Amino acid sequence: MFSNKALRCPRLWRGLRWAGICLSVGVLTACAQPKSLYSWDSYQPMVYAYLQEEGEDYAAQVQTLEENVESARATDQALPPGFRAHLGLLYLKLGDGAKAVEQWEGEKNAFPESSPFMNFLLRHTTAQADVPAQAQ
């Protein structure tokens, strides 16, 4: 493949060495995973269980999601879109409308594009809260 003269050429070896180094660096960096933008933890399986009606224990789901909030704060990661909205829904199912409203306001602030839906939920939640007060 190479002649004897080519094998003795230091310039060729230097070029091959740099090519090998560049190839090694390229292969090793291509395998690196990019850092996730959000702290997903158990949010997706929790939503799936909720939608499949397997997760009827709303208090346990709230506790798990609150632990996810703490771990996201500890690792300085953002919560994913819909996380606070789902947590607010669970709080509402448990009868804690104030915490639900707090979570929905947080979702609206974190993701302004969710404002129309969050405003819809907030309007209907406050309207339902006013009905029992008027009945008494």
| Contact (Cβ atoms closer than 8 angstroms) between residue 48 and residue 42 | no
Nearest residue to 62 via CA among 78, 44, 46, 82:
46
Residues pairing with 78 in the sheet: 38
Q: How does the average pLDDT of the chain come out, rounded?
A: 83
Q: 121 is written with which tokens?
A: 């939920």
Residues pairing with 38 in the sheet: 78
CA geometry: angle 106, 109, 111, nearest 5 deg? 105
How far lies 124's CA from each of 32, 120, 130, 132, in Å? 46, 6, 10, 13
The one-letter amino acid code at 136 reads Q
For 45-102, write each residue's pLDDT tens digit.
888 888 888 767 899 999 999 999 999 999 999 999 999 999 999 999 999 999 999 9
Looking at residue 133, what DSSP letter applies? H
Q: 106 is written with which tokens?
A: 């947080």
**Could you tell me the pTM of the whole model?**
0.69
